[in-house]
Chain A
């Protein structure tokens, strides 16, 4: 597996894209006043955010903060009520055809085509994106190898474990060498071995010039991996910037996060009975 992780792979050559305005120059992702409400409850509230190209960007926040909703609107899976999304300089909702070619997506909790094998899934999706058959076949084989899925390539996705599903989805997201990767909880419920493989591939991808934007609520992971971070709470961005500046004087990003989302008192008080051996 370690050998596989260091094998050569054609990770994306980052292509410079013409930005719509000087303001978007150098931004892999730009959100402007992005808003979404469900049944009158605002889940994402006028979010404005810039993600520099080539960064490893962590979007963190407690459950229900609006991370998945934001990423769904960025990837074209959920229509925003208002606001604009630019991926690699392209307005996602005005020019979806171009925007979708420039991003790779790994959503959380959505199904795959369960009755296809991993290899069939990658070959199908690559060709659906218009890539030539031989190119897809070669990339799919390499990606399956690097992601330690070679043996499972012929198995149906329906029989995959959570880690295998995340890895094959990541492979599908990388197939067309997009400049921007959008990953929703890529390491959630993944075993340590698969997590290490995914992290290695993502680090190689950013060192090749690509931008990774991923959501998580595991602070230690974000602090270790990310060059930049944005903290989201109750549908708003409460802090963003490079990881060191968001952490500030706090001992860790975890402490800074707890302070930012105002949850320091939770978990204390009551429960005096807990720990008693008496029934």
Chain B
């Protein structure tokens, strides 16, 4: 039975490669070779830790802890990437929980991710086996570490699978993902600011050495230095932890296979919105207002749309302080807000792809140029209005903290050009290079579907690069405001407004025309997101 599970997983792992043909297959193979090379490089780096015997256990402790956390969080942010994760798929087969648990453990060990882990861990094992006779101990500890990772990941995903099958549960996953980003930004800021980073990290690693992964990482070192009592205590912690997680997984699996969940259990009335009354789509402006208000409502209600806005807001205020840790020459800190402005405008990207196959509702509703243009403008407005608010607040906050009010017009000019430019390009590429976005929301990081990665990359890059290029004329004026005369700051503001508005008017008009003429083809492309 275990062999059957392993072969099932092997087929799942290799089926995507078998399904690709010609150049795509060649590129996939090249990508895998590059990935293996990078992993070998990482493993080599870990093995080189032998050169620093004092640091080796500390570093490997950190690596093992991060590895365990990564495996634990994976099901929350990427539930569904592995078809064998969901125990419900096996519910109707005549299998005992014990057989299923063993089988699923084996399937978890077959795949790209476990292989990548093994490659790096081999390096880590070599790194901590000082002297060489501790190698078998390090190997056994690494094996237990990998098993702990896999079992913890499985236990969590099983316990959460009923939650993740519902809309609310997936929404929660997105929020946790955002929390992680915030924590990461905060941590990197704190660590970078700390002059004694090595000392701090050392203290943290010594504490972590008493956690299950830390105990396994330091086991060879403790044995080699004859700290047998500590080593035994550490090993006990690791083994007991593994057994507890294994037992928890078995219990969750049993519960999951003998109870059913309701997909609509989380339904509740939607909060009141202004969408039940207002203008009708009888002109470009009215259509834009109608579509824009709907988009804003959806951005508020849908965590997948709301999350990018939270990140933009975080970038608007946080990024300038991260880049301009100290004043760089005469460049005002507020100039760094331009990145948030470009990112905010880019939120209008792939406005048809966001709808998935739901786009049909728009396609059948009208077939005239006025409303097609109004729809494009409406989507753009839904990015511009919150974008402009975030940029304004960021500029004021950054300037209030760092000073440089005289630089505000130039900074605002660049920001408006970047916001308008990237938003205009977002509208244009939405119609010209639409791409499907996964609609089932099984992963917060999935932004494209198989077979459309190239389109996705081209569209995303052109929007971001375009936004920055649009800010160049205003940027030149902003530089002149510092080097020549402050009056250039006001010129930058004017140039920024004109560039942004000009690009918006021109490109949304073109996008509307293209959308109207090619809506069936756009629908065909973006509908692929339903199946992803």
Name A's B-contacting residues (CB within 8 A): 75-79, 95-101, 103, 105, 107, 109-117, 119-120, 123-133, 136-137, 154-156, 158-161, 172
Verify B277–A116 contact, CB threshold 8 A. Answer: no
Cross-chain contact A112 with B358 (CB below 8 angstroms): yes
What separation, in Å, do the CA atoms of A1 and B520 have in the docked complex? 38
**Contact between B275 and A123, CB atoms less than 8 A apart:** yes
Contact flags (1/0) for B281-292 with A, using CB distance below 8 Å? 110000100110
The 4 closest A-B pairs by CB, nearest first: A96-B367, A159-B267, A97-B367, A154-B269
* 16 further contact pairs, Cβ within 8 A, besides A78-B520, A105-B360: A77-B364, A109-B530, A110-B527, A111-B356, A112-B361, A113-B358, A115-B301, A117-B270, A123-B275, A124-B294, A128-B290, A128-B366, A130-B366, A132-B280, A155-B267, A156-B270
Chain B residue nearest in CB terms to A135 = B280
Known A-B contacts A97-B367, A128-B287, A133-B278; the reply to A110 vs B521 at CB < 8 A is: no
B residues contacting A by CB (< 8 A) are: 167, 264, 266-270, 273, 275-282, 287, 290-291, 294, 297-298, 301-302, 355-358, 360-368, 371, 439, 519-521, 523-524, 527, 530
Q: Taking the nearest CB of chain A, how far is it from the CB of B221, in angstroms?
A: 53
Contact check, B281 vs A130: say whether CB atoms are below 8 A apart: yes
Residue of A nearest to B375 (CB): A128
Residue ID in chain B nearest A141 by CB atoms: B276
- Closest A residue to B530 by CB, please name it: A111
CB-CB < 8 A to A127: which residues of B? 278-281, 290
Cα A125 to Cα B275 in complex, Å, equals 10
Do A115 and B298 touch across chains, with their CB atoms under 8 A apart? yes
Contact of A100 among B266, B365, B530 (CB under 8 A): B365
CB closest residue in chain A, given B291: A128
Query: Which of A112, A130, A161 makes the CB contact (< 8 A) with B282?
Result: A130
Whole-angstrom CA separation of A45 from B189 in the bound complex: 64
28 pairs from A and B in contact (CB 8 Å cutoff): A75-B364, A77-B363, A79-B520, A95-B367, A97-B367, A101-B366, A105-B364, A107-B360, A109-B357, A110-B530, A113-B355, A116-B275, A116-B297, A117-B270, A120-B275, A123-B276, A127-B279, A127-B280, A127-B281, A128-B281, A128-B287, A132-B280, A133-B277, A136-B280, A156-B267, A156-B301, A159-B267, A159-B268
A114 touches B358 (CB 8 A): yes
Contact B277 A123 (CB under 8 A): yes
Note all chain B residues with C-beta closer than 8 A to A116.
Answer: 270, 275, 294, 297-298
Interface secondary structure of B, over-half rule: helix
Cβ-defined partner of A137 (8 Å) among B264, B276, B520:
B276
- Looking at the assembled complex, report how far the CB atom of B474 sits from the nearest CB atom of chain A, in whole angstroms: 36
> In the assembled complex, how far is the CB of residue B207 from the closest CB belonging to chain A, in whole angstroms?
44
Chain A residues lying within 8 Å of B439, measured Cβ to Cβ, are 111
Closest to A164 in B: B264
Contact B365 A129 (CB under 8 A): yes
Q: Give B290's nearest chain A residue, CB to CB.
A: A127
Given the complex, which residues of B lie within 8 Å of A133, measured CB to CB?
277-280
Contact flag A137-B277 (CB < 8 Å), given A110-B527, A159-B264: yes
Question: How many Å lie between the Cα of A100 and that of B357 in the bound state?
Answer: 18
Most chain B Cβ neighbours within 10 Å, of A103, A116, A128 = A128
Residues in B neighbouring A128, C-beta threshold 8 A:
281, 287, 290-291, 362, 365-366, 371
Give the distance to chain A from B434, nearest Cβ to Cβ, in Å: 15
- Minimum Cβ distance to chain B for residue A121 (Å): 8
Q: Which residue of A lies closest to B277 (CB)?
A: A133
Q: How distant is A150 from chain B, measured CB to nearest CB, in Å? A: 12
Q: Is the CB of A119 within 8 A of B358?
A: no
B371 contacts A100, CB within 8 Å? no
A21 nearest CB across to chain B (Å):
22
Given A117-B270, A128-B287, check contact A78 B276 (CB 8 Å). Answer: no
Q: A124-B294, A128-B362 are in contact. Are A78 and B368 (CB under 8 A)?
A: no
Asked if residues A100 and B367 are in contact (CB atoms below 8 Å), the reply is yes
Q: Which of B270, B355, B364, B368 contacts A120 (CB 8 A)?
A: B270
User: Would you give the shortest CB distance from A237 to chain B, in whole angstroms?
Assistant: 23
Of B266, B273, B291, most buried by chain A (CB within 10 Å of CB) is B273
Minimum distance in angstroms from A170 CB to a CB of chain B: 13
Chain B contacts of A99 at CB under 8 A?
Answer: 367
B167 with A158: CB separation less than 8 A? yes
Roughly how many angstroms separate A262 CA and B520 CA in the complex, as a whole number? 34
Instruction: Assess the B360–A77 pair: CB atoms within 8 A.
Output: yes
